[in-house]
A = this chain, B = another copy of it.
Amino acid sequence: MLEWLKEPELNFPDQITAGFEHGVCVGQIQAKAGLTQSTVSEYLSILQRAGFIESTRVGQWTYYKRNESAFEALSKLIESNL
C-alpha cells in the first residue's frame, strides 16, 4: 500500500475525484488490496498512528497520502542509530 501511494495517479486510475492532493480513499485501496473493508481501514489507521500516512476527511470519504518525512526519518534512524 505504501508503495502504491507513492504514485496515486498510476496505481489508482479509477479514482474519480478532482486530483490526488489529499491522496487516495479507502475504497480504492481496498479494491486493489483484495482484503476486506474492515481490514484495510484498520491497517490504514495503524499506518497513520505510526506517522507514515496522513488522512483527510472530505465528505464521506477519507483520503490517505504518504508522509514522506516519516520515511526519511526512518531511513536516517537506521543509518545512524541502529
Number of copies: 2
Residues of chain B within 8 A (CB-CB) of A71 are: 78-79, 82
Number of interface residues of A (CB under 8 A): 11
- Chain B nearest CB, measured from A80 CB (Å): 9
Cα–Cα, bound, A81→B75 (Å)? 11
* Majority secondary structure, A binding face: helix
Q: Which of A29-82 touch B at CB < 8 Å? A: 71-72, 74-76, 78-79, 81-82
- Chain B nearest CB, measured from A71 CB (Å): 6
Which of A2, A74, A82 has most chain B Cβ within 10 Å?
A82
Q: Is A14 an interface residue (CB 8 A)?
A: no
8 cross-chain CB contacts under 8 A: A2-B82, A71-B78, A71-B79, A74-B78, A75-B75, A75-B76, A75-B79, A78-B78
